[in-house]
Amino acid sequence: MQLLEKIQSKDAVIGIVGLGYVGLPLMLAFSAKGYHSVGFDIDQSKVDSIKAGESYIDHIDSAPLGTGVSNGLIDATTDFSRIAEVDAIIMCVPTPLDEHLEPDLSYVTNTMDAVAPYLRSGQVVSLESTTYPGTTEEELKPRIEAQGLTVGTDVFLVYSPEREDPGNPEFSSKNIPKVVGGTTPACAEVGKALYEAAIASVVPVSSTQVAEFTKLLENIYRAVNIGLVNELKIAADKMGIDIWEVINAAATKPFGFKAFYPGPGLGGHCIPIDPFYLTWKAREYGVHTRFIELAGQINRSMPQYVVRATSDALNRRKKAVNGSKILLMGLAYKEDVDDMRESPAFELMDLLKEQGAEVDYYDPHLPVITPTREHAEWTGTQSIEWNEQAIRGYDAVLISTHHKAFDLQQLVDWADIIVDTRNALAKSGIEPKDGQLTKA
């Protein structure tokens, strides 16, 4: 097969559609193996940054990007007609939920509609976006075949879910095992060869539906266990028990237990969203996934719990949320990254503002809030400057993300009230003042 030969000889050109937290690392993984890659995105600023060899994602170094550009292995464009130039089209676009917590596949379908007119025989199309079982064959296959191309003979269609963990120094696109399912056996063979070219380990499965379900299982596993520990945290707080100490003690068991930790709510593009893709699809088969939906309800309620804890902490100082100045430390959804997708910090800011608080944030990884789909009103808001005068001016400081860049000793020295949702002070070995700390 000519396409397999091109992949194996490194003559295949790899097209990456969507140059965000998934697409950019994948492009770097292929270029590191000597493949020419063309990135496609509707955001001209991302295209310009790539052409200049400059990373726009905090945890991704510019050096390998610059090397790939200077070597002629990396290019980027907003011109989708150039799809005809590439041999592989890997789609890495968002799959959010709508206001009813139902799948919004518009990014996938709109992207496929933009790509389809330029498809040709001898290409492989891979979808990496997390979605419900059946999406690849129900949404992508008809659009490809509407161009007069036969899937499995002319164009090879696969699904391979992204498994990025932004900021994780141990795992990256290159060494995280890659699950791949094909629409036909020939599709599976091509998909396996494609990812083996850049990824250390490839895990073939029998169909695109299995691969799609695999990704959902991974994220539902985490969402349900986080929901469990969030519920236990509320119970432990009522009993005057430190849930963090309980988890650390339980984690000493060498078998049968994996530690999950509570927080102010779920963040990132996967864990808060993906479970609802399965609950929606399951209803088509008459299945009500009560366990998954309950975990989702608990996790989505955590920002309200944190705000109540903040209100209680202020009340103990004879203050109200209304009229108080409150600072959130950490806008990103997880530590040491600049990724604010679905961050619970936005919900916390919204809730506090609704109750009359004056809300600011501090995050050295995110100096300004860029446009988001759900929280447009915060666009352009800037991180405060960290200094003693500023911190002493707040009635309460809420740790919503535990970045290593934070000086928590200065926080203890300067702040009146600290609401710690991440057990950050204890993990850092810093003792708060009497009555200063509220864990939430």
Each residue of 293-333: pLDDT tens digit? 999 999 999 999 999 999 999 999 999 999 999 999 999 99
The pLDDT assigned to 385 comes to: 97
Give the integer Cα–Cα distance in Å for 291 and 278. Answer: 12
Within 13 A of 243's CA, how many CA atoms are on the CB side? 24
Question: Phi then psi for 264, rounded to 5 degrees?
Answer: -80, 5
Give the integer Cα–Cα distance in Å for 15 and 194. Answer: 12
Question: Phi then psi for 70, rounded to 5 degrees?
Answer: -65, -30
Question: Phi then psi for 179, rounded to 5 degrees?
Answer: -80, 135
Question: Phi then psi for 48, rounded to 5 degrees?
Answer: -65, -40
Give the integer Cα–Cα distance in Å for 156 and 141. Answer: 10
pLDDT confidence band for 266 (50 / 70 / 90): confident
Q: Is 92 a catalytic residue?
A: no
335-359 per-position pLDDT tens digit: 999 999 899 999 999 999 999 999 9
Question: Helix, strand or coil for residue 70?
Answer: helix
Which one of the listed residues 17, 29, 105, 270 is annotated catalytic? 270
Among the listed residues 157, 203, 153, 205, the one whose alpha carbon sits nearest the alpha carbon of residue 183: 157
Predicted TM-score (pTM) of this structure: 0.91
What six digits make up the tokens of 315? 């009340």
pLDDT confidence band for 46 (50 / 70 / 90): very high
Instruction: Delineate the domains of the chain, giving CATH numbers in brackets.
Output: 2-206 (3.40.50.720), 226-439 (3.40.50.720)
Q: Counting runs of H as helices and runs of E as strands, what totals does the chain give?
A: 16, 13
Q: What would you measure as the largest C-alpha separation in the chain, in angstroms?
A: 75
pLDDT of residue 273 exceeding 90: no
pLDDT confidence band for 140 (50 / 70 / 90): very high
Give the integer Cα–Cα distance in Å for 37 and 75. Answer: 6
User: Other CB atoms closer than 10 Å to residue 124's CB: what's the count?
Assistant: 25
89-113 per-position pLDDT tens digit: 999 999 998 888 889 999 999 999 9
Average pLDDT over residues 241-259: 97
Give the integer Cα–Cα distance in Å for 217 and 348. Answer: 28
Instruction: Give the DSSP H/E element, type plus range, for residue 419.
Output: strand 418-420
What six digits make up the tokens of 24? 């950019």
Average pLDDT over residues 144-164: 96
Matching residue, tokens 């609802």: 276
Question: Helix, strand or coil for residue 437?
Answer: strand
pLDDT of residue 66 exceeding 90: yes
pLDDT of residue 12 exceeding 80: yes
Give the integer Cα–Cα distance in Å for 368 and 340. Answer: 11
Average pLDDT over residues 218-247: 96
**What percent of the chain has pLDDT above 70?**
100
Instruction: Output the average pLDDT for the chain.
Output: 95
pLDDT confidence band for 404 (50 / 70 / 90): very high
pLDDT confidence band for 143 (50 / 70 / 90): very high
Average pLDDT over residues 114-124: 97
Residue 357 exposed, middle or buried by CB count within 10 Å (0-12, 13-18, 19+): buried
Partners of 17 in beta bridges: 40, 91
- Give strand ranges (E) for 222-369: 325-329, 358-362
The pLDDT assigned to 169 comes to: 77
Stronger pLDDT, 173 or 426, i.e. the higher one? 426
**What CA–CA distances, in Å, run from 224 to 150, 216, 247, 260, 291?**
40, 12, 16, 10, 8
The pLDDT assigned to 99 comes to: 81
